[in-house]
Chain A
């Protein structure tokens, strides 16, 4: 255990090594580590932001869904209402149409009845004339007795 010149030489070596580390070893490594830390921090921040955005998006989508549901139920309600309306209208139209058909039919029937009556009247008049002719045993001149025929016809009405 003797102190000698080795001490000074070792001190010099030590200072050279410290200088080397300070100058060449520490800065690049520190830079790399710090840059990586920054990258990681940025990544984490981006992840956090993404999470937040996802939250917002899901919120938005549920809002949209809710609105759509509401809208759909409104539409259904409207459609139901419209359906009832259409049915009512159809009923009404059908009833009108039916009434009209019935009225037409009635008119036709009346008309037919009228024509039949007319024909019957004619026949009855002829029958009356023929009857009268038989009773009188001679030809009744339709021209001469037109006024009688007309009055009979008038009676049959």
Chain B
């Protein structure tokens, strides 16, 4: 809890939605959300590091339980990629899908941790008054991922089809190669290329952010008394259980969209 200030619903929610920031340069852009960055890096290192530790000792013989678990996850992702992407997926796309799925899943899963207890632990243990523990509720994270994928998509469009091939695609699809349709095609493609990263990133952000807000609202119920606390807890537990689905599903959707975009960049219409 933010100490010193009076506890109102507004201050409670505001407190939980405040980033720990640091200024790295002049201007409003040069602000860094330290909590988002550090939490996400820790989660990435933890999840990928775990997989790496298991994989380092991977044996083609009878796998250990940990290896079997990792293989299950990896083969699941590999299968999804194989069904969608028809190039050589082992060079980039499949490992990228694995990275995205594991990382986003871990970041989303932070949402399930009880928000006030985590805030209390961070404040008592590390002296951090504000620390957002769910990196995917930061639109910067989702945009960073979506834009990285977007740039990779542009790169592979040019690399696979060549500048000429890509331009041809921009001007001549989806309606046809008639010069009269060029403007319409280009406009259509432009909208598609703009909407891709927007829908990609905002879908994830919106789902997880909304989930967090609902947890906050349920947490606020505790302020109304004992019955409010009990109902808030029950509903909070229910929402958390439901959230397991959302967390996994959103990570999966994000991964699948990435694979689909990469696949579209590799194949001409």
Q: List the interface of chain A (C-beta within 8 A of B).
A: 1-11, 13-15, 17-18, 20-22, 24-33, 35-36, 39
Contacts and interface: CB of A to CB of B under 8 A. Distances in A.
Nearest to B142: A10
Given A11-B147, A14-B148, A30-B90, A5 B24 contact: yes
A15 B148 CA distance: 8
Contacts of B36: 6, 10
A1 B140 CA distance: 8
Given A17-B44, A22-B96, A7 B55 contact: no
B99 A21 contact: yes
A6 B59 contact: no
B61 interface: yes
B131 interface: no
A71 B91 CA distance: 68
Given A25-B52, A25-B55, A36-B61, A6 B75 contact: no
A81 to B, nearest CB: 66
Given A5-B32, A24-B52, A35 B25 contact: no
A100 B81 CA distance: 108
A17 B90 contact: no
A9 B148 CA distance: 12
A9 B36 CA distance: 10
Interface string B127-151: 0000000010011110111011000
Contacts of B55: 24-25, 28-29, 32
Contact of B58 (A7, A20, A32): A32
Contacts of A28: 55-56, 58
Contacts of A32: 55, 58-60, 63, 67, 71
Contacts of B90: 26-27, 30
Nearest to A27: B90
